[in-house]
Copies of this chain bind each other. A is one copy, B any other.
Amino acid sequence: MDITEFRKRGKEMVDYVADYLETIEQRQVYPDVEPGYLRSLIPEEAPDEPEAYEDVIQDIERVIMPGVTHWHSPFFFAYFPTASSFPAMLADMLCGAIGCIGFSWAASPACTELETVMLDWLGKMLRLPKDFLAGTEGQGGGVIQGTASEATLVALLAARSRIVKQIQAHDPQRSEVEIISKLVAYSSDQAHSSVERAGLIGGVRMKKMSTDGKFAVCGETFRKTLEEDKASGLIPFYVSSPHPLPHHSAAPEGTVRAQGMWMHIDAAYAGSAFICPEFRPLLDGVEFADSFNFNPHKWLLVNFDCSTMWVKRRADIIGAFKMDPLYLKHDHQESGLVTDYRHWQIPLGRRFRSLKLWFVFRMYGLRGLQAYIRKHVGLAKEFERLVRNDERFEICADVVLGLVCFRLKGSNELNELLLRRINGARRVHLVPCQLAGAFVLRFAVCSRTTESRHAQEAWRHISELASELLRGQKR
């Protein structure tokens, strides 16, 4: 394909993409295919000779679309939102064309510098404490990770490296391996599975703290566990706290600070909402954290992948990874103004992802982004009202942002059956969760194009399926 054909095919692709998104509501949100469907639709080997572009494009509808779960359908209420917007898609096209690998400042200065400044912009939108911003002289700063799992892992590794150095400074005889074997990290039993995985990868003990009725870790329990662990020779070093932070009189953050532990806050989904003053109080306590991350690729209109992470002391994060082979050294390396992002992350390579942030921030403006968050929260509240008006159902957790956890009053089996019918009908797509032993349905407002009429239609449909189910049960 030469450049002339690319101009033609690229424009056709823009139209295909626009058509797809314009008519996505008419596609079945969840596919009908059975496992293994695709292999039989295409050859067993790559072709020897080039094929015609038309043949490739025709296969999108023949091979791919029948097996796609349409995450951007307004009837997709499963898992969590994944962001999509036109400005972000345009920025991604540019990112692909520049195609630089920004592992160091010199490898592409614009790639590194725009990222640092965009993370400052976003930090200010969130009213993060100044410690987390890079500015021109700050000790902290932000970085784009691929996913929240990576941010959580990087924070844990930075914490591990810091505690090892601290202990060895007092006691140079202790080996790193021996110290690591005594470390213990804590999370809440409501934390994402990625926290447990981070512990697994980092080879450290991970303890899940039980939570109260509001799903917050109790300060008293936490303090007791810490004391017991220390008494048995373990070294508490890391707490990963999902948002919101617990606000008890015996708040865990006080304990964490007193112990010199690393506190990481992962607000993967909720973080985007904190650009609205009315939701910002949910982030109170971030001033006690060493690191914080959330995913603009979930709810801030920036296409995957883009998980933004800030640290108060960049030296902590760099210390965990820094290695400098000669072929990656460059002249400006020792300047305080220079960031080599490869020391901030697991991979070496990285794309020019800050372009997406820049395009989205400028094309929406802060007010446009706030309006988007508020619209989604409004849709969740609207759905909550519909559920509450139906006596057969119950709401299972406070509806704070864009997620409604609900269920039929009755057994777990009944709710499992209802969910099976909902997803079997293919008109809307939902997934379950477990809350205090109960099987619960999650209604997550996900798509940029979800409007009131979609939420209303989804509820009508769910409520009809519930009626059918309950009639069947009576018989």
Residues of A within 8 A of B (CB): 1-3, 5-7, 9-11, 13-18, 20-22, 31, 33-39, 42, 44-51, 53, 55-56, 60, 63-72, 79, 82, 84-90, 92-94, 96-101, 105-111, 113-114, 116-117, 120-122, 124-125, 136, 146-150, 153, 157, 160, 177-178, 180-181, 193-194, 196-197, 200-205, 297, 303-305, 320-321, 323-328, 332, 335, 337-338, 346-349, 351, 355, 358-359, 361-368, 431-434, 439, 442
Which residues of the other chain, B, contact A71 by a CB distance below 8 angstroms?
A: 98-101, 108
Minimum C-beta distance from A76 to chain B (A) = 10
The answer to whether B94 touches A13, judged by C-beta atoms less than 8 angstroms apart, is yes
The answer to whether B346 touches A6, judged by C-beta atoms less than 8 angstroms apart, is no
Q: Which residue of B lies closest to A145 (CB)?
A: B347
The answer to whether B362 touches A46, judged by C-beta atoms less than 8 angstroms apart, is yes
Assembly CA distance A44 to B136 (angstroms): 11
Assembly CA distance A54 to B43 (angstroms): 45
Q: Which residue of B lies closest to A110 (CB)?
A: B67
The answer to whether B38 touches A363, judged by C-beta atoms less than 8 angstroms apart, is no
The answer to whether B21 touches A14, judged by C-beta atoms less than 8 angstroms apart, is no
Assembly CA distance A106 to B71 (angstroms): 12
The answer to whether B21 touches A442, judged by C-beta atoms less than 8 angstroms apart, is no
Assembly CA distance A110 to B204 (angstroms): 36
Q: Which residue of B lies closest to A151 (CB)?
A: B347
Assembly CA distance A294 to B200 (angstroms): 26
Which residues of the other chain, B, contact A160 by a CB distance below 8 angstroms?
A: 203
- Using A93-B89, A177-B205 as known contacts, say yes or no to A50 and B109 having CB atoms under 8 A apart: no
The answer to whether A363 touches B97, judged by C-beta atoms less than 8 angstroms apart, is no
